[in-house]
Amino acid sequence: MALKPPVCRGMKELDRSAFALTLAVVALRVPVKSIGQIKTDLADDVLRIPKLRNVVDDTTKTHKMVLLKPSISISLGEASDRLRALVHEHKWEPTMHDIHLAYDNWTADDILKSVLPDSSQAPTSYEQIGHIAHMNLRDEYLEYRSVIGQVILDKSPTVTMVVNKLDTIDNTFRNFKMEVLAGTQDFMARVRENDSVFEFDYSKVYWNSRLHPEHERLVSEFARGSSICDVMAGVGPFAIPAAKKGALVWANDLNPASFEAMGNNVKLNKVTTRVTPFNMDGRDFIQHAFTEYYKQTAKGSTSLAPLPRCNAGKRAPKPEDPILIASRSFDHVVMNLPAIALEFLDAFRGLFYRMTGNSTHSGDVNLPMIHTHCFTKSDEPEKDILMRACRALGYPEDQYKELTARVHYVRKVAPKKDMYCLSLVLPESVAYATDAEVGSKRKTDEDSGAQSEDCKLQKVD
C-alpha cells in the first residue's frame, strides 16, 4: 500500500496544513544492539518516508521501536520470510504505533497528485538553470500554477525561483517571456558546465541545460590548436570550453545581452587571449570573420599563450608550450540556432572566392567543417536535412549523397519534432563559386520565392 496525502482536489492557493495525516503502523520492539542488523537485512520491510525517523524511542533505554511499512499488518503476514523468522527466533514483540505526517513528509509528486484534477500525473519536471526552475506548463495546469510553483520551490533545496514559459522562443534573440510562479525574482543565473562557469540574465538570453551533452560532444571534436568560428554563440557554451581546450575562437551573437554576457564569461573563465566576441548579424559575421582571419594568417602562423593558473601556496607548475594555430581558414564553424541555422549556409557560397580572389582551391587554405543545428519533422531526417542544406548552399540536390557530411541526433523537442546537428565539410564547388554563380543562385532563389508568393496569391483569390 503506497501512502498518499489527504486529497485536496482543486486547491488554488497552497495550504500546507491540509496535508497532515495520522496513521497507525506496526512497530517491532527490539534490543538496541539489533537495530543495525534490522536496517540492513530488512530494508524492504522498514518504513521509509522522507523526513521521518523509522526507529523511535521505547519506554526503556535497552530497546527501540522499529517502524514497518504500512502494508504490513500486526500478524506480519505481509512481511518478508526473513523478518518473520527473526521475530520468531528472537521473540520480538509487534505492536501498533501512530505516526504523524505533515506537508514536509510528502514529495512534490504526492502533493500535486492530491491537488490536480488528474491524480495519475503531476507536472513536476523542470529545467534548472542555476537557482531557477524553468517549467513549461500545459494549458490545463495554468489555473493551478501558484500551487505548482510553490510546491516545486518547497521541495527543491537548490531552487529559489520558479518560472513558467509564456510563449515560444523569439528567433531573433532566442529568448522568451516568463512569469514568476514562486520565490524571489532574480534572473541572474550562474551555471557550471564543462569545467566552465557561465553567468547571465536568463530573462534576456538563451540557455538550455538539456543541451549540456551536445555542448560537451561538439567541443570534444575540436582539437587543441584548432580555430573556431561560432556564429550564434549565445553566452559561450561552445566557445569558452573550446578555448580552455586550446582552440582559438571568434564568437558572435546578435543579441546585445548575450554578447555582453559572453564577454563577461570570457573574462570570468580567463580566456580573453583565446576568445574574441562579436555582436553582428550572422551572415555579416561569417563574411567578416573569414575575410579578416585570412588576412591575419597571411602574416604567418599565430600561437596561443598558456592560460593563467591559480596555484596559491603551491609550487609553480611546469611552464606549458605555446599552442600553434596553423590553419589559414577556420577549422570549424558552429551555428546553433536550430530554427533557421540551415538558411545561413547560403553565406558560404562563393565565400572563399571573394576571400582569396581565386576560383579554385589552393592547398594552403583549408575548408571548414560546419556544424549546423536544426529541427526536422521528417520520417527521413537525414535526407531531409541534407536536401535542405543543399538548397541553402546552392549545391545540386540530386548529389546530396556525395557531400562529406554526417547527421547526429541531439534530442526530441516535441512529439514529432527532433533536433539534429549536421556536420558538413564545405564543398569546394560552393566555397569557390564565382560571383556570377552566386548571382545565378540568388536569382533562382528569388524566382522561386516569387513563384511561391504568386501561388499564395492565387490560392487566396
For residue range 288-346, what is the model confidence (pLDDT) as tens digits?
Answer: 999 999 999 988 888 888 887 654 445 555 667 889 998 999 999 999 999 999 999 99
**Amino acid identity, residue 198?**
F
Confidence at residue 288, expressed as pLDDT on a 0 to 100 scale: 97
Confidence at residue 443, expressed as pLDDT on a 0 to 100 scale: 47
pTM: 0.84
* Residue among 249, 130, 244, 127 at smallest CA distance from 194: 244
Q: Which residues contact 258 (CB under 8 A, 6 or more apart)?
A: 173, 174, 200, 204, 205, 206, 233, 234, 235
Q: Which residues contact 388 (CB under 8 A, 6 or more apart)?
A: 342, 374
> Tell me: the pLDDT tens digits for 409-454?
999 998 999 999 999 999 999 999 996 566 455 445 555 544 444 3
Residue ranges of the chain with pLDDT lower than 70?
1, 168-174, 309-319, 435-461
Confidence at residue 310, expressed as pLDDT on a 0 to 100 scale: 55
Task: Give, in degrees to the nearest 5, the angle at Cα 48 between 103 and 155.
Answer: 35
Confidence at residue 452, expressed as pLDDT on a 0 to 100 scale: 41
Confidence at residue 96, expressed as pLDDT on a 0 to 100 scale: 94
**Amino acid identity, residue 200?**
F
- In whole angstroms, what is the distance from residue 49 CA to residue 285 CA? 57
Strand partners, 191: 198
Confidence at residue 167, expressed as pLDDT on a 0 to 100 scale: 73
Confidence at residue 299, expressed as pLDDT on a 0 to 100 scale: 84
> Tell me: the pLDDT tens digits for 245-274?
999 999 999 999 999 999 999 999 999 999
- In whole angstroms, what is the distance from residue 243 CA to residue 222 CA? 10
